[in-house]
């Protein structure tokens, strides 16, 4: 009676499932090959070496005669730019807003609360359109731009002076980095000393001296200046020189930061509230100052509650960066879809694009998981 044996039945169920999946996959693949044949396409990545034939507004230097592959790389670079800066800014905004949500001041709480509710209940794309088309593009034109010193704001972007590395820059920057590392070392050693011996060794003061002193000394004593300032100058109808924050970049960045910041605010608030009230009471009773209580007792415990949902929001930000296409910012998705339009090679383009986003997600998750593990409360 083997057909009633539990182990046989389990194996049979798996086999049936496998057959169904295999049949479905076979049918799909067959259709795919037929369709590709029909359109004269083939499944290889060679076409990436062809000439792009389109231009890209910002990121890395790119000409129309460059390859599709180079275009893709520029897209990835732009996405990384947006996501990395966006994560930092959104976290800062989120922390500030989260703390504000817990403030004693009703007015502050309500205003920030209203901001959070609006952000959470409207789609990001609508917000992006409003910010980009409704605010940024409505800024004065280049001729009527707002000028403050070398800075200018118009609907063509925000221009500001750029630091240009001169000969001697490498030496100076190495000096600065050495200073940074040495400063950190000194800080930790002196902090240890103070904890062990009880003598005030001023770790903060000494490390600050080193971190600031070395680059300063380098600037003064090395021949020439390591950096030169280049101001943006209006020549004819365009601005030459300097650096520019494009309307597109500003649009997607502000949109992402405002949107994600609201969600992070809520997470921070919940995290701080999750720390039992008794902790604050015990810490205050021990004589710690309010800022010490926050820094040494509340925040470390709040972090444990905050990190998992925060990871989620970081992943969302990275994925939402793909909406840059709505404001015309040449990110990974935007450029991929242009490559598709030019080449018709759907399968390869989509695979590459999705693979890149998956990689990005994995990396963010990995970093956050590492942070989460280090913060885990050890239980019996």
Partner 1 sequence: MSDPVISCTDVHKWFGNFEALKGVDMQVEKGEVIVIFGPSGSGKSTFIRTLNRLEEHQQGTIIIDGIELTHDVRNIAAIRSEIGMVFQQFNLFPHLSVLQNVTLAPIWVRKWPKEKAEEVAVQLLERVGIPEQAQKYPGQLSGGQQQRVAIARALAMQPKIMLFDEPTSALDPEMIKEVLDVMIGLAKTGMTMLVVTHEMGFARAVADRMYFFDEGLVIESGSPDDIFKSPQEDRTKLFLSQILTH
Partner 2 sequence: MAQARPTSGKPPVISIGFVAWLRENLFSSLANTLLTLGSLAILYFAGRSFLTWAFTQANWGAVTGNLKVLTWGRYPEAQVWRLGVSLLILIVLGVITWRVWRGEPSTSRRIVLLGWAISPVVLTILIRGVTLPTPATIANNLGYYLFRPDVLPLLEQSWRGTSAMIWVGLLLGLTRGMIESRRARLAALIASAAALLFLLPLGLQIEPWIFGLKIPFLIPLLVNLLLATLIGQAAGHSLANVGGVQGALPWLWGLSVPLLLILLTTFDVGVASVAPVEALPIVEPNIWSGIMLTLVLAVVSIVASFPIGVLLALGRRSKLPVVRWVCILFIEVVRGVPLITILFMAQVMLPLFLPLELSIDRVVRAMAGMTLFTAAYLAEIVRGGLQAVHQEQVEAAHALGLSEILVTGLIVLPQALRAVIPPIMGQFVSMFKDTSLVAIVGLLDLLAVGQSVIKQREYLGAVREIYLFAGLFYFVVSYAMSTASRRLEIQLGVVES
Structure tokens at 42: 């083939």
Pick from partner 1, partner 2, none: which does 345 bind, CB < 5 to 8 A by kind?
none
Residue among 331, 147, 320 at smallest CA distance from 242: 147
Sign of CA dihedral 27, 32, 35, 38: negative
Phi, psi at 245, each rounded to 5°? -100, 105
**Token match 């001697």: residue?**
168
Nearer to partner 2, 201 or 337 (CB): 337
Residue 121 lies near partner 1 (rule: CB under 8 A)? no
Pick from partner 2, partner 1, none: which does 1 bind, CB < 5 to 8 A by kind?
partner 1
Alpha carbons 321 and 80: distance in angstroms, whole number: 9
Residue among 151, 149, 161, 165 at smallest CA distance from 228: 165
Q: Tell me how far, at minimum, the Cβ of 182 lies from partner 2, in Å.
A: 38
Contacts of 88 (CB under 8 A, 6+ apart): none
Pick from partner 1, partner 2, none: which does 191 bind, CB < 5 to 8 A by kind?
none
Nearer to partner 1, 6 or 44 (CB): 6
Site for partner 1 in 162-181 (CB under 8 A): none
Pick from partner 2, partner 1, none: which does 221 bind, CB < 5 to 8 A by kind?
none
Pick from partner 1, partner 2, none: which does 320 bind, CB < 5 to 8 A by kind?
partner 2
Q: Tell me how far, at minimum, the Cβ of 8 lies from partner 1, in Å.
A: 8
Instruction: Write out the DSSP string of 146-166.
Output: EEETTEEEETTEEEE-EEEE-
> Three-state SS string across 293-333, please?
HHHHHHHHHHHHHHHHHHHHHHHHHHHHHHHHHHHCCCCHH
What secondary structure letter does DSSP report for 53? -
Alpha carbons 188 and 204: distance in angstroms, whole number: 9
Residue 5 lies near partner 1 (rule: CB under 8 A)? yes
Nearer to partner 2, 24 or 274 (CB): 24
Alpha carbons 307 and 91: distance in angstroms, whole number: 12
Residue among 373, 362, 230, 359 at smallest CA distance from 304: 373
Can you tell me which of 4, 104, 238, 380 binds partner 1, judged by CB under 8 A?
A: 4
Nearer to partner 1, 13 or 28 (CB): 13
Binding mask 277-316 for partner 1 (x = CB under 8 A): ----------------------------------------
Pick from partner 1, partner 2, none: which does 106 bind, CB < 5 to 8 A by kind?
partner 2
Q: Tell me how far, at minimum, the Cβ of 212 lies from partner 2, in Å.
A: 30
Q: Tell me how far, at minimum, the Cβ of 365 lies from partner 2, in Å.
A: 9
Which helix (H) or strand (E) covers residue 243, if one does? strand 243-245
Pick from partner 2, partner 1, none: which does 7 bind, CB < 5 to 8 A by kind?
partner 1
Q: How far apart are the first and last CA of the chain?
A: 49
Nearer to partner 1, 6 or 291 (CB): 6
Site for partner 1 in 9-68 (CB under 8 A): 9
- Whether residue 327 contacts residue 254, with contact meaning beta carbons closer than 8 Å, is answered with no
- List residues near partner 2 by CB under 8 A: 10, 13-14, 16-18, 20-21, 26, 28, 31-32, 34-36, 38, 103-108, 111, 117-118, 120-127, 129-130, 133-134, 137-138, 315, 319-323, 325-326, 333, 337, 340, 346-347, 350, 353-354, 357-358, 361-362
Pick from partner 1, partner 2, none: which does 21 bind, CB < 5 to 8 A by kind?
partner 2
Binding site for partner 1 (CB under 8 A): 1, 4-7, 9
């Amino acid at each position: 009676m083997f057909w009633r044996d539990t182990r046989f039945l389990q194996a049979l169920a798996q086999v049936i499932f496998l057959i169904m999946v295999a049949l479905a996959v076979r049918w799909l693949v067959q259709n795919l090959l037929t369709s590709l044949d029909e359109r004269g396409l083939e499944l290889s990545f060679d076409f990436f070496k062809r000439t792009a034939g389109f231009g890209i507004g910002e990121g890395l230097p790119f000409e129309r005669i460059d390859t599709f592959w180079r275009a893709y790389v520029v897209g990835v670079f732009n996405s990384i730019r947006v996501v990395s800066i966006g994560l930092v800014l959104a976290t800062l905004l989120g922390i500030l807003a989260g703390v504000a949500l817990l403030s004693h001041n009703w007015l502050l709480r309500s205003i920030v609360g209203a901001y959070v509710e609006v952000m959470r209940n409207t789609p990001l794309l609508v917000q992006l359109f409003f910010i980009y088309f409704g605010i940024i593009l409505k800024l004065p034109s280049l001729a009527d731009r707002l000028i403050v010193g070398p800075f200018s704001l118009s609907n063509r972007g925000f221009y500001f002076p750029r630091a240009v590395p001169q000969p001697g820059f490498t030496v100076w920057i190495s000096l600065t980095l050495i200073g940074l590392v040495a400063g950190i070392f000194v800080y930790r050693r002196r902090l240890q000393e103070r904890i062990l011996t009880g003598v005030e060794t001023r770790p903060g003061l000494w490390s600050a001296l080193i971190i600031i002193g070395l680059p300063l000394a380098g600037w003064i004593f090395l021949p020439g200046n390591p950096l030169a300032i280049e101001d943006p100058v209006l020549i004819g109808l365009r601005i030459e020189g300097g650096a520019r924050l494009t309307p597109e970049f500003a649009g997607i960045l502000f949109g992402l930061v405002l949107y994600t910041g609201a969600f992070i605010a809520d997470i921070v608030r919940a995290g701080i509230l999750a720390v039992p009230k008794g902790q604050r009471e015990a810490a205050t009773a021990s004589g710690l100052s309010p800022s010490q209580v926050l820094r040494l007792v509340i925040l470390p415990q709040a972090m444990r509650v905050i990190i998992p949902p925060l990871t989620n929001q970081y992943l969302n930000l990275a994925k939402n960066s793909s909406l840059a296409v709505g404001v015309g910012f040449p990110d990974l998705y935007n450029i991929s879809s242009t490559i598709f339009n030019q080449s018709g090679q759907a399968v390869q383009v989509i695979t590459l694009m999705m693979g890149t986003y998956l990689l990005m997600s994995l990396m963010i998750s990995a970093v956050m998981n590492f942070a989460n593990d280090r913060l885990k409360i050890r239980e019996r």
